[in-house]
């Protein structure tokens, strides 16, 4: 218990101005505007919210939804120290902030900026449009493998679309959910492209949150994408 109260003391002593700069590590995936969801859920009104329950965000992992956590100084401090340790199996691709002062600053900033009355500040907004997103999007580069013979894990069977989410089911029975702006649809009609009606899911294993589906022809795209909730 001594450790826990030490953490919340830190949260109170953090420097919000410095914390705002640290928020840039989060801004590629999170906004502070209510219900403006990106790769991750909006963080508006975070304190006192139960983890994984924001109604406008459709992509929470089962791990986070069933964590039983309520976000406060203490749980957020633990989450940001080591998300995987606090909620094994969660889908936030972020390794954590190990330095206590940096975390305390960030929490001090977030506590103010996520209050219902808070207007998102100019520089936090800029962070959201900053270079991070592009940097993370860069993982798709490099030579694509030949897609004629697909492994079950990347062989796409169905794609459904609901609100802002695509759900891609592959031949191994797995279904992955993507924010619509994180999933690209591409075609490859060359000899290395996928077979007819056998599109391939690429990139999903690397960052987890962005990927592309490669089709053998553009007509296949609308044939595969089915509006269904
Ligand atoms: C690469 C994208 C990404 C980055 C960077 C990122 N997050 Fe997340 N975050 C997510 C995703 C995705 C989830 C949902 C995880 C799940 O459902 O398992 C999430 C969940 C959360 C939640 C839980 C929200 C809720 O409603 O339960 C909090 C709090 C959070 N992130 C804070 C942060 C903070 C603070 C940072 C920066 C230090 C950060 N995240 C960095 C993608 C990201």
Ordered structural domains, the chain, with CATH = 2-130 (1.10.760.10), 156-227 (no CATH)
What pLDDT is recorded for position 121?
56
Protein residue whose Cα sits closest to atom 41 of ligand 1:
26
What string of pLDDT tens digits covers the 229 residues of the chain? Answer: 445 544 455 445 799 999 999 999 999 999 999 998 989 999 999 999 999 999 999 999 999 999 999 999 999 999 999 999 999 999 999 999 999 999 999 999 999 999 987 765 545 544 443 333 333 333 333 344 679 889 999 999 999 999 999 999 999 999 999 999 999 999 988 888 999 999 999 986 556 688 999 999 999 999 999 999 9
| Phi, then psi, of 134 in degrees rounded to 5 | -65, -40
> Is the CB–ligand 1 distance for residue 52 below 6 Å?
yes
What pLDDT is recorded for position 203?
83
The count of C-alpha atoms lying within 13 angstroms of the C-alpha of 31, restricted to the half-sphere facing its C-beta, is: 14
For residue 161, the tally of other CB atoms under 10 A from its CB is 15
> Is the CB–ligand 1 distance for residue 92 below 6 Å?
yes
What pLDDT is recorded for position 191?
80
Q: Ligand 1 pocket check: which of 30, 68, 99, 209 to mutate, most ligand atoms within 8 Å of Cβ?
A: 30
What pLDDT is recorded for position 136?
33
> Is the CB–ligand 1 distance for residue 26 below 6 Å?
yes
Ligand 1 atom nearest to 52, measured from its CA: 27
**Strand-by-strand arrangement of the 211-215 sheet:** 183-187, 211-215, 200-202
What pLDDT is recorded for position 120?
55
Contact partners, residue 7, CB within 8 Å, separation at least 6: 73, 74, 77, 78
Q: How far apart are CA 113 and CA 156, in angstroms?
A: 41
User: Cβ(46)–Cβ(76) under 8 Å?
Assistant: yes
Q: How far apart are CA 168 and CA 160, in angstroms?
A: 7
What pLDDT is recorded for position 128?
42
Which letter does DSSP use for residue 192 in this model?
Answer: T
Q: Are strands 211-215 and 183-187 parallel, antiparallel or unpaired?
A: parallel
Ligand 1 atom nearest to 54, measured from its CA: 26
Alpha carbon 1 to chain centroid distance? 32
**Three-state secondary structure call for residue 203:** coil
What pLDDT is recorded for position 166?
96
Q: How far apart are CA 85 and CA 125, in angstroms?
A: 29
> Is the CB–ligand 1 distance for residue 168 below 6 Å?
no
What tokens were used for 116? Answer: 């219902």
Answer whether 0.75 is exceeded by the pTM: no
Which letter does DSSP use for residue 226 in this model?
Answer: E
CA of 24 to the centre of ligand 1 (A): 13
> Is the CB–ligand 1 distance for residue 30 below 6 Å?
yes
DSSP lists the bridge partners of residue 34 as none
């Amino acid at each position: 218990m001594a450790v826990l109260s030490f953490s919340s003391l830190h949260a109170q002593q953090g420097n919000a101005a410095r914390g705002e700069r640290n928020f840039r590590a989060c801004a590629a995936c999170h906004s502070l505007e209510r219900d403006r969801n990106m790769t991750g859920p909006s963080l508006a009104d975070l304190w006192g919210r139960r983890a994984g329950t924001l109604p406008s965000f459709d992509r929470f992992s089962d791990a986070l939804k069933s964590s039983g956590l309520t976000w406060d100084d203490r749980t957020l401090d633990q989450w940001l120290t080591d998300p995987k340790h606090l909620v094994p199996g969660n889908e936030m691709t972020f390794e954590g902030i190990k330095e206590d002062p940096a975390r305390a600053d960030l929490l001090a900033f977030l506590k103010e900026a996520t209050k219902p009355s808070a207007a998102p500040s100019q520089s936090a907004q800029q962070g959201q449009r900053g270079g991070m997103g592009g940097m993370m999007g860069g993982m798709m580069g490099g030579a694509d493998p030949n897609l004629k013979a697909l492994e079950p894990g990347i062989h796409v069977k169905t794609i459904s679309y609901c609100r802002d989410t695509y759900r891609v089911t592959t031949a191994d029975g797995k279904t992955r959910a993507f924010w619509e702006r994180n999933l690209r649809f591409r075609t490859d009609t060359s000899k290395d492209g996928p077979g007819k009606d056998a599109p391939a899911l690429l990139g999903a294993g690397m960052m987890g949150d962005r990927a592309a589906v490669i089709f053998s022809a553009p007509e296949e795209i609308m044939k595969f994408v089915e509006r269904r909730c």
